[in-house]
Amino acid sequence: MLKEFKEFALKGNVMDLAVGVIIGAAFGKIVDSVVNDLIMPVIGRILGGLDFSNYFFALKDIPPGTAMTLEAVKKAGVPVFAYGNFLTIASNFVILAFIIFMLVRWINKLKRAQPPAPAPAPAEPEEVKLLREIRDNLKAR
C-alpha cells in the first residue's frame, strides 16, 4: 500500500490537483464576496431591506438584552438554526457551479475549434516495397 501511495503521490497529476485546489479556494473567496457583498444585499433590498445573514430561529430562549443578530445570539451561547446563512452559502455554490460550468464549456469549445493534428502517413508494408523494387528493376532492363 505504501508503494502504491508513493507512485500516486509522485505522479504529475497530484501537483495539478494541488494547484487546482489552491486556485479554487482563492476563487471561492471571490465568489463569496460577490454573493455576500453584491447579490444578497440586492435580494435583501427587494425583499424589504432585510439582511439574509440574520435570518435564523433561536433553538433556545435568547437572554434579555441580547441584540437580535446572528452573531450576538451565537455569542450569547444560544443554538440557532441559521437558514439565512445557509441561503447565502447555497447561493455561493450555485454561482460557483455555474461559473465552473461556463469555464469548462468554454474550454471544450476551444478544444473542438482547434483543427486536429495531421496523422502521420502509415508505413508501407514490406511487400509493397519489394513489388516496387521489382517493377523498377524490370523497367530498367
CA nearest neighbour of 95 among 47, 37, 53, 35: 35
pLDDT value of residue 12: 63
Cα–Cα dist 1/105, whole Å:
37
Top pLDDT among 140 and 80 is at 80
Q: Tens of pLDDT along 124-137?
A: 888 888 889 889 98
Q: What percent of the chain has pLDDT over 90?
A: 6
pTM exceeds cut of 0.95? no
Average pLDDT for residues 9-20, to the nearest whole number? Answer: 73
Q: Tens of pLDDT along 105-123?
A: 888 888 787 777 777 778 8
- In the block, cell 444560544 appears at 78
Domain boundaries, the chain: 11-118
Q: Which CATH number fits domain 11-118: 3.40.640.10, 1.10.3720.10, 1.10.1200.120, 3.30.70.980?
A: 1.10.1200.120
Q: Tens of pLDDT along 37-90?
A: 888 778 777 877 666 777 888 888 888 988 888 889 899 999 999 888 888 788
